[in-house]
Amino acid sequence: MYAEVLTRVLTQVAVVVGILLLTSIALFVGRGRLVTTAREWRSRLQATAPAVAVLAAVLGLNRVVRWRGDEIEGAIGFHMTETFYDLEGEFVLLFQSIATEELTAYFSFIYVYGYAFLLIFPGIAYFALSDTRTFRRLLTAYSLNYVLGLAFYLLVIAYGPRNVMPEELTVTMLYDNSPEYQHLTREVNRNTNVFPSLHTSLAATVGVFAYITRSSYPYWFPVAAVLAASVAVSTMYLGIHWAIDVVAGLVLAGVCVRLSGVLVGRQPVARFRRYLDRRPTPRDDRE
């Protein structure tokens, strides 16, 4: 019966995000790029396979550690809820003063659907570019976000504003207004994982990439910027994160984007090809 609710919410998210993705592909990517991608997808896939594999591994690790994290946390973590609360006080309640029903609906939508869309779409958009470097950089930046974020989650045990100031946040609190999402977020996270805000850092990462690639996707940049900013605000508006988590998320995003530039080379295809040529029977060619 637990799975039923989860399946229902997941299906709903999949359908909505699917529609958003199809529309955006038509609007931003365009026919020309799709045709080229259809022709070159094999070589692009080969070129980007390592980055994809790393991300998959990181996501797997992330899942295991978050589920089993309480034991590790118990051993090495620091309780920081009070520190955050002392530092910023009731700053996030600022958003309560502008709260309306429409805004709550908007930010709830952004937090769940907008965020999922924001992370997936650049993957498609950058895969559709002939130069695979942006795509590889993006995936690497995602991986870094998760790895570094996870390390902080194990070190810092803190509850978000909704757990500390429930009464002031009842108007906008996500799970009071839309209880079904609790099943979704509970599946991917624990309530002591608030520092830094991975919602913010991943959304900001996408925002920075949208800026870098604005010559390829001029119309995506403003859309991504608005969405990324909305995701960051939504985490505070809905009472899930402290402002400190959001700031840390922004810093993490900056670090990850920078590191991805250092780690990801410009010409992997050529190198990868040469590497394949040296091997007598490249495994990837078997079919």
Determine if 168 is a binding residue for other proteins (CB under 8 A).
Answer: yes
Determine if 87 is a binding residue for other proteins (CB under 8 A).
Answer: yes
Residue positions counted in the chain: 287
Cα 31 to chain centroid distance, Å, stands at 27
Cβ 49 vs Cβ 149: under 8 Å:
no
Q: Which of residues 170-189 bind other proteins (CB under 8 A)?
A: 170, 175-176, 179-180, 182-183, 186
Instruction: For residues 214 and 194, give the distance between their C-alpha atoms in angstroms, rounded to a whole number.
Output: 31
Determine if 241 is a binding residue for other proteins (CB under 8 A).
Answer: no
Determine if 7 is a binding residue for other proteins (CB under 8 A).
Answer: no
User: Cβ 89 to other proteins, closest distance in Å?
Assistant: 6
Q: Which is nearer to other proteins, 238 or 256 (CB)?
A: 238
User: Cβ 45 to other proteins, closest distance in Å?
Assistant: 36
Q: Which is nearer to other proteins, 139 or 169 (CB)?
A: 169
Determine if 90 is a binding residue for other proteins (CB under 8 A).
Answer: yes
Q: Is the dihedral of CA 18, 227, 205, 11 positive or negative?
A: negative
Q: Which of residues 41-80 bind other proteins (CB under 8 A)?
A: 70, 74, 79
| CB contact burial 67-94 (16+ within 10 A = b; e otherwise) | eebeeebeeebeebbeebbeeeeeebbe
Q: Which residues contribute to the site for other proteins (CB under 8 A)?
A: 1-5, 70, 74, 79, 81-82, 85-87, 89-90, 93, 96, 159, 162-168, 170, 175-176, 179-180, 182-183, 186, 191-192
